[in-house]
């Protein structure tokens, strides 16, 4: 049995990860400050004697003895990470320093949940890990993008300087049950709006694209990455190459929910990336042929069912 720390464990991805790690027979410590996460996401795990929840902010040091650390603590939705941009940078950067310091002291493995946002508004399509990105350092997304980029730098430097056993994954847009209904990201926004027959808010003309990954596929890739040998550090892209425009996503959700909602077009936020698609050749190669199994329609089915139940619709 391994003892595993999941920071951001009460969030959308973190809570799925805690559940899966427990199912695989591990002891799990879930750390969260509940900024965007919720106790509700992990309430069903509290009866498990091998599960523990700790209210803590990663910007201050934390001491514990574990075998592995998954560092997920960070708001991920633009409206939430832009709410207090200085805090977002602190969470990414000081959170990374504190967790890397811990990993160094206890000699544990540590995995960083990085993001496709390190590529910014990419000039290369699809994006391989070798692409250095096109990121505005002083825009409204910078607190998140640059914070995550600096965290990657810190991980790499702790590895080179202190031999910390690191793993960096770059997660592309991931969705699924347990997203917060007011999360603000496109999949949850559109589903909630469609189920309530409210206007579907398209930012810009909806021609911008994203590649949507179902959460179960991400978990599989994340765990395989953590289990690789110490010579594999990443960064590695984890995403579903299936690429859709935002308008296509809206139309699919309208069809699947049978909604009466109308589309409304709102201004496109500054620096909103035009296109995004992961090149996952490296993940396939180093993660035993890992590739996403859940297509968009199948993943949306269970996500819509989750929100129907949550909203009692």
Taking CB under 6 A as the rule, does residue 208 contact ligand UDP?
Answer: yes
Q: Contact region for ligand NAD (CB under 6 A) — 67-75, 134-142, 276-284, 286-294?
A: 67-75
Long-range own/partner contacts, residues 132-139 (CB < 8 A, 24 or more apart): 136/271, 139/270, 139/271
Is the separation of the CB atoms in 26 and 52 below 8 Å?
no
Is the separation of the CB atoms in 83 and 143 below 8 Å?
no
Taking CB under 6 A as the rule, does residue 294 contact ligand NAD?
Answer: no
Q: How many helices (H) and strands (E) does the chain have?
A: 9, 13
Q: Contact region for ligand NAD (CB under 6 A) — 43-51, 53-61, 127-135, 303-311?
A: 53-61
Closest to ligand NAD by CB, 55 vs 160, is: 55
Using CB under 6 A as the binding rule, the residues of this chain from 156 to 195 that contact ligand UDP are: 173, 185-186, 189
Closest to ligand UDP by CB, 10 vs 186, is: 186
Closest CA to 178 of 31, 36, 1: 36
| 306 has catalytic annotation | no
Neighbours of 89 (CB within 10 A): 21
Closest to ligand NAD by CB, 14 vs 299, is: 14
Of the residues 4, 5, 6, 8, which one makes contact with ligand NAD according to CB under 6 A: 8
Per-residue contact flags (x/-) with ligand UDP for residues 258 to 297, judged by CB under 6 A = -----------x--x-------------------------
Distance (Å, rounded) from C-alpha 312 to C-alpha 305? 10
Structure tokens at 167: 């793993």
Per-residue contact flags (x/-) with ligand NAD for residues 156 to 195, judged by CB under 6 A = ---------------x-xx---------------------
**Residue ranges in 72-113 assigned as alpha helix (H):** 78-81, 85-106
Residue 77 CB partners (closer than 8 Å, separation 6+)? 36, 183, 184, 185
Q: Contact region for ligand NAD (CB under 6 A) — 52-60, 126-134, 221-229, 289-297?
A: 52-60
The residue ranges that bind ligand UDP (CB under 6 A) are: 77-78, 173, 185-186, 189, 201-203, 208, 210, 246, 269, 272
């Amino acid at each position: 049995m391994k003892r595993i720390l999941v920071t951001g464990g009460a969030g959308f991805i973190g809570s799925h990860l805690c559940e899966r790690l427990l199912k695989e027979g591990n002891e799990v410590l879930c750390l969260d400050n509940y900024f965007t996460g919720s106790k509700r996401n992990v309430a069903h795990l509290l009866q498990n004697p091998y599960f523990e929840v700790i209210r803590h902010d990663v910007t201050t040091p934390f001491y514990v003895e574990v075998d592995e650390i998954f560092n997920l603590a960070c708001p991920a939705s633009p409206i939430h990470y832009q709410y207090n941009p200085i805090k977002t940078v602190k969470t990414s950067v000081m959170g990374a320093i504190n967790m890397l310091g811990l990993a160094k002291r206890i000699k544990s493995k540590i995995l960083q949940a990085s993001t496709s946002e390190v590529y910014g508004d990419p000039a290369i399509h699809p994006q391989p890990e070798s692409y250095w990105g096109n990121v505005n350092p002083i825009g409204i997304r910078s607190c998140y993008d640059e914070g995550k980029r600096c965290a990657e730098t810190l991980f790499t430097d702790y590895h080179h300087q202190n031999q910390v056993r690191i793993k960096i994954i770059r997660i592309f847009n991931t969705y699924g049950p347990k997203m917060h209904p007011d999360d603000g990201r496109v999949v949850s926004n559109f589903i909630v709006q469609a189920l309530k027959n409210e206007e579907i808010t398209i930012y810009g003309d909806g021609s911008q694209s994203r590649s949507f990954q179902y959460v179960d596929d991400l978990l599989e890739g994340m765990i395989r990455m953590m289990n690789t040998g110490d010579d594999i550090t990443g960064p590695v892209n984890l995403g579903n190459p299936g690429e859709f425009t935002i308008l296509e996503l809206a139309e699919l959700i309208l069809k699947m929910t049978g909604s009466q909602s109308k589309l409304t077009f709102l201004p496109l936020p500054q620096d909103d990336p035009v296109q995004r698609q992961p090149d996952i050749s490296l993940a396939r190669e180093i993660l035993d042929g890992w590739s996403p199994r859940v297509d968009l329609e199948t993943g949306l089915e269970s996500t819509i069912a989750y929100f129907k139940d949550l909203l009692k619709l």
